[in-house]
Each structure stands twice: as structure tokens, then as C-alpha cells.
Amino acid sequence: MALQGGAKWIKYLLILFSFFFWLCGAGLISLGVLVRMAMKDTLSVHSTSILAAPIILIVAGVIIFFTAYFGCCGSWKEHRCLITTFAVLLSFIILSEIGAAVAGYVLRGKVNETVEDGLKNMISQYNRSTDAFRKAVDKMQQHLKCCGANSSTDWANHTLDHQSVPDSCCKNLTSHCGSHALYDGSKVYQMGCISALEGLLKRNMLVVVCVFLLTALVQVLGVVYACVLICSIRKGYESL
């Protein structure tokens, strides 16, 4: 049975929405993989909540990916069961996104504690760890333009002369530039990485929360279109 008039346009709009959701799912999967790789190659993180973040992104992406498949195939074939499955799954996704957005905003205040514990642990392990670990810490300090956890003085107990910092703390990176420069603000960054990283995480978290909410609003239209299409298909069968 072919739909006519406005119902036909709803069908194509739902196919377009489903394709958009499919792209969102693929994007989340890719983002989750990239975040996991970045965490593995940069920071030594021991917080379960942070380690779970990329896994959650990948799982959410897979769910959205297959939900979009139901919506696209159901709309194209005008199959009520598939479209109903799409609408139900999409409704659960919307509720989950709203819950995740609210939880993410509420938990913004706890970022500082997690960041501080992680950075202090990294500093204490710096001299006893692998070259890859040290390179990760150096890369973070150079990228964020920071030194130590709270300040450059955090390195005092982790260097032999108690007066030096890693070269990555230097404003102009050269060999041995951090030697005897612990308190020299003209040579090394004085701001700790806690403040720098906390600000970065909070800004990114706020962006993620906003994206989640905006996506949920768009997905509500998808549910509405799915319900309208289901009713149109049902009426078409009843008129036969």
C-alpha cells in the first residue's frame, strides 16, 4: 500500500531523520574510539567513571545506529512493526539522553576531586614509570601550559635537587630548561594542571550536555513523525 498526500511527505521526512540518527550513531562510535585511544596514549586515569565514558559513547552509538536502521527500513517499506520499534527505542534514547545531560551537569562540581587525585598520582609516578608515561605527562603540561598539580612546587619532592621541574614545564622548551627553575616564573609555568584541566573538562562537558539536549529535541520530532506515519498506515489498511 502506497501512502498518499501529506503522509507520503512524512514518510520521506522520517527517512531523512533516520539517516541523520544513523550519522549520529556512527559519530558517537567514532568519538568513543578516539576518546579511548586518547586516554590510553596520554593520561594515566584510574577513575572508573572516566574510564567508562568512551565505552558509554560507543554503546550509545551502537544503539542509535541500529535504531536508525529500524526507522529507515520501516519508513521505506511502510512497515508498522519496524516503525513502532523505532519510535519506542527512540523514546528510550531521548529519556536516557535527558537523564545523562542532567547527571553530567550535576556532576560538574565533582570533576575537581577526580582530576586532583589523578594528577598527583601521575606526578608521584613520573620518575618510576615508563618513557611513554613520562611523555604523556610532558605532553599534557605543554599542551595545557601548566606545571605540577596545584603549582610548579609540586615537583619539589620528585626531583633529586628539589629545585628542578621537567622540561615540559618550560615556557620555551629546550634541553635542561627546567633545571633549578622550580620558582622561576619567567622560565616555567606556575599554574597547576588541576585548574587548567578542570576548566577544560568542564567546558567540554557543558558542550556535550548542550549537544545531548539539542539532539533530544530533534529526536522528539522523529517520534512525532513516526507516530503520524503509523496512524496513516493503519488508516490506509482500514480503508481497504
Higher-confidence position of 189 and 162: 189
Residue 104, pLDDT score: 66
Q: What is the mean pLDDT of residues 162-176?
A: 91
Which residues on neighbouring strands pair with residue 221, listed in sequence order? none
Read off the C-alpha cell for 7: 503522509
CA 178, CA 217: separation in Å to the nearest integer?
Answer: 51
pLDDT of residue 240: 44
For 42-51, 74-83, 107-116, which range has the lowest pLDDT when averaged over its residues?
42-51
Percentage above 70 pLDDT, the chain: 81
* Average pLDDT score, the chain: 80
Residue whose C-alpha cell is 620555551: 172
**Residues contacting residue 29 through CB under 8 Å, at least 6 positions apart:** 57, 58, 61, 62, 65
Is 148 in contact with 115 (CB distance < 8 Å)?
Answer: no
Stretch 93-104: mean pLDDT: 77
**0.75 cut: is pTM over it?**
no
Reported as a single tens digit per residue, the pLDDT across 185-208 is 899 999 898 888 777 777 776 776
**Weakest mean pLDDT among 35-39, 76-80, 174-178:** 35-39
If you average pLDDT over each of 5-9, 12-16, 198-202, which comes out highest? 12-16
What is the tens place of the pLDDT at every residue in 49-89? 555 667 877 888 888 888 888 888 888 888 889 999 999 99
